[in-house]
Amino acid sequence: MKKRVVVTGLGAITPIGNGKQEFWQALLEGKSGVARITRFDPTDYTTQIAGEVKNFDATQYIDKKEAKRMDRFTQFAIAAAKMALEDSGLDLKTEDLQRIGTVVGTGIGGIDTLNDQYKVLFDKGPNRISPFFVPMMIANMAAGQVSINMGLQGPCSCVITACATGTNSIGDAFKIIQRGDADVMFAGGTEAAVSPAAMAGFCSMKALSTRNDEPEKASRPFDKGRDGFVMGEGAGIVVLESLEHAVARGATIYAEISGYGTNADAYHITAPAPEGVQAAKCMELAVKDAGIQTTDVDYINAHGTSTPLNDKNETLAIKALFGDHAAKLAISSIKSMTGHLLGASGGIEFIATVLTVANDMIPPTINYETPDPELDLDYVPNTARKQAVNIALSNSFGFGGHNATLLVKKFQA
């Protein structure tokens, strides 16, 4: 028998707010977190804007000495995990820590540390490299440090599937609990790639919006004027539990996670496969895993990157799978407000999806001004919508052809 899995804790570090409540309120108000980059001088870059995390002090969550030995992506992960822990009401002192695990992924990892230490290497030589360089930089360290900081001794792993990372991480954690290998999992994604090298690389690819004079309007998923995605940073970590464990401790349950689909385009290193065929199949896998019909789905939290190809292909994928029902679906992209958090995007978008189901409120797609004739679905433009949402999907599609979809249901005992 597959165990039922529920969501009991939410932790978010985002460009529009830190903590579940601040993040959710900003989504409903349609606030943009995109502005001119402050972490370095972007003057020479074709794209000079990003969704940076504001008002973040790592020492609120981590000992000052330890924080200095962590890259920013790891600091974000620990902060979000501790927020999720507090939100869940779990008392780790009374839990079997061997039954609590961690799946926290990242798309890029410690690129700030890599940048800094390469400068040291070239300027001062190899003997001046920090002994903490490798454990600060490596991608698995966010998962490792969350586990170490909380004493979690269950399954611990790191997913790296580019922009699908956060969604794959939560999906993998869901399956670990479902098959009985853990009672509780901390899962999600983290990213801190608003750095000189990463920005230069994405600029060189011509993947980013160059709407530098209107930062807040730069990310515009599904709008005809979309010209590329906007980089973001942050972390989204959730607490998942088996239903029986959550009920036994009297936990507050936000929603139930009951479906997970993942597959590959097997097509191109960056471009999505034409017509969104495999993206449609990925959503279908999640629907089948949950044992429901496509007509049962009310809402899709779209990958919605604000790039010409992604938004078109995701729309085609939705039409291919849902047929006539596609016109009845509410669809929105919170990347219009947060920018694209790469490996962390699936984590914060899953949190937004869970809160949508729990509150029957759909966050909008902001900056939707000019409809694209080829994209003709309901993208919940510009204003949040009060609407019953019993079943929702959250999509993530990453470079390399990685696809992942999670299905969230309103909880019923």
The DSSP-derived string for 65-78 is HHHTTS-HHHHHHH
Q: Where are the domains of the chain?
A: 1-401
Predicted pLDDT at 262: 98
The ranges of the chain with pLDDT < 50 are none
Fold assignment, 1-401: Peroxisomal Thiolase; Chain A, domain 1 (3.40.47)
- pLDDT tens-digit profile of 342-397? 999 999 999 999 999 999 999 999 999 999 999 999 999 999 999 999 999 999 99
Residues 248 and 265: beta-carbon distance below 8 Å: no
Predicted pLDDT at 323: 98
Give the number of other CB atoms < 10 A from CB of residue 327. Answer: 12
Say how far apart CA 409 and CA 386 lie, in whole Å.
Answer: 17
- Select which of 156, 203, 245, 303 is catalytic: 303
Say how far apart CA 247 and CA 245 lie, in whole Å.
Answer: 6
Predicted pLDDT at 1: 83
325 is catalytic: no
Predicted pLDDT at 413: 87
- Residue matched to tokens 């190899």: 126
Element (H, E) at 296: none
The DSSP call for residue 365 is B
In which region does residue 27 sit, left (phi positive, over 0), alpha (psi from -120 to 50) or beta (all else)?
Answer: alpha
Say how far apart CA 270 and CA 290 lie, in whole Å.
Answer: 30
The Cα angle at residue 321 between residues 318 and 322, in degrees rounded to 5: 75
Say how far apart CA 145 and CA 143 lie, in whole Å.
Answer: 6
With 0-12 / 13-18 / 19 or more C-beta atoms within 10 angstroms meaning exposed / middle / buried, residue 386 is exposed
Say how far apart CA 145 and CA 140 lie, in whole Å.
Answer: 9
Predicted pLDDT at 185: 99
303 is catalytic: yes
Predicted pLDDT at 32: 98
List beta partners, residue 397.
403
- Select which of 156, 163, 203, 282 is catalytic: 163
Predicted pLDDT at 306: 98
Pairing relationship of beta strands 361-362 and 156-157 according to DSSP bridges:
unpaired
Predicted pLDDT at 381: 98
- Select which of 203, 245, 340, 402 is catalytic: 340
203 is catalytic: no
Q: How many residues does the chain have?
A: 413
Pairing relationship of beta strands 184-191 and 330-332 according to DSSP bridges:
unpaired
